Amino acid sequence: MNHFDATQSVWKGAIVDQSWVTTVPVLDQFSEVADPLRYCPLPDDWLIGVSDVVNSTAAIEAGRYKAVNLAGAATISAISNALPDDPTLFAFGGDGAHFALSPLQAPLAAKALSSVAAWAKRELGLRLRVGITSVAEVRAVGLDVCVAFWQASDHIRYAMFAGGGLEWSEAQLKKGAIGLPEADESSEPDLTGLSCQWAPIQAKQGVILSLIVKRGPNTLQSSFSETASRVIEILESGASLNPVPPDGPEVRWPSHAIALQSRVANAKRPNWWRRIRVLVTSTLYWAVFKLGSRVGRFDPTQYRREIATNTDFRKFDDGLMMTVDCSSDTAAQLCEVLDEATEKGVIQYGLHMQDEALMTCVVPSALTSNHMHFVDGSGGGYTSAARNLRG
């Protein structure tokens, strides 16, 4: 296995590095995410970070998908906290995440990834693979890593990735060709703001559909883009799309999440202390949201509305990825289009249907509007959709 050596990643152009991110195109129509002309390539000296839960399928079958989601989102939380003043380019994939990192960011990001892997093993009983490779290695095999921002709301923009490089990097991680050395088991990542306490979100239109659509081998980009745009059009024409209602998720007592949330707290404290602390804070948050009354500068009603607009329920990560709330008729119409495009070799796709969606959150501060919320299906979601990939 090739280990990324953080000590060798040194770069002195910090001003240039940060200014480059401001030149990344910003998309305000989601239908544009399948157009490669709307993306720009990463600089040659940048790096790609990858995380992935090993054997996530077995964990899902054991009913541990919330823990799998928590492990994947933990890598985003840890890197964001390690780089608090830097823009972080990432994509959440359910059982892991992808990152684009400057050479200046890479050493701290590598340390954060290794720490999260140790934490996931100790606290969640999950093995989390983590690794970093270079954009140069991606381009050496004829692929690329290009990025654009999707303006999800007035407060949040998420990175979209194209070019095939992130998918290739994840494949290298799973093969053991890249990887980061394991941190000490006592390593403690900074997971401030990581939360899994919102209850599962029930389908309102009929079904929660987790969908992955990738470009078929040797397919023209124009043909794939046309199909992806058609998929988006079908889903956007439905009565609903975002699993989170416009007024935010339902306020329910988080009995399902207290034990898991306690695993995010500082491991230097005993388990009983961590559970009591989470129980106390959960009671406070539940009461505030249930009453809907402003507490100081915090407005729980406005916060819940921002959850809906800030939710990362659709993205482009070397392929279209969406977890949506749609009717059975819309799902049937969608499958017809997908099957036809698959028979022509235009796409590869996988989908999974379930009754509920799960939400995992990264909240830098409850008093600002840049809180992030990652949605996945509760019955297997993106992991099951990837396993069902055909074409």
pLDDT tens readout for residues 57-93 = 899 889 899 999 999 999 999 999 999 887 789 999 9
Helix (H) / strand (E) containing 90: strand 89-92
- Report whether pLDDT(15) > 80: no
- Report whether pLDDT(198) > 50: yes
339 CB-contact burial (10 Å; exposed 0-12 / middle 13-18 / buried 19+): middle
Q: What's the pLDDT score for residue 17?
A: 54
The answer as to whether 291 is a domain residue is: no
Residue percentage of the chain with pLDDT more than 90: 80
Q: What's the pLDDT score for residue 7?
A: 43
Instruction: Look up residue 131 and give its amino acid.
Output: G
Output DSSP code: residue 321.
E
The SS3 assignment for 19 reads helix
Number of structural domains the chain divides into = 1
As a whole number, mean pLDDT of residues 26-41 equals: 94
Pairing of strands 128-134, 47-53: antiparallel
Q: What's the pLDDT score for residue 270?
A: 82
Q: What's the pLDDT score for residue 239?
A: 67
- Report whether pLDDT(12) > 60: no
User: Angle CA(16)–CA(19)–CA(21) in degrees, nearest 5?
Assistant: 115
d(CA 23, CA 90): 17
Closest CA relative to residue 91, chosen from 320, 324, 387: 320
Q: What's the pLDDT score for residue 20?
A: 85
Instruction: Look up residue 236 and give its amino acid.
Output: E
The whole-model pTM stands at 0.92
d(CA 375, CA 290): 22
- Report whether pLDDT(381) > 80: yes
- Report whether pLDDT(302) > 70: yes
- Report whether pLDDT(284) > 70: yes
Domain span holding position 148: 2-247+302-387
Residue 239 CA, chain-centre distance (Å), reads 25
The answer as to whether 268 is a domain residue is: no
Which range has the worst mean pLDDT, 97-101, 124-128, 153-157, 386-390?
386-390
User: In this structure, are residues 383 and 60 in contact, taking their beta carbons and an 8 Å threshold?
Assistant: yes
pLDDT tens-digit readout, 154-191: 999 999 999 999 999 999 999 999 999 888 877 889 99
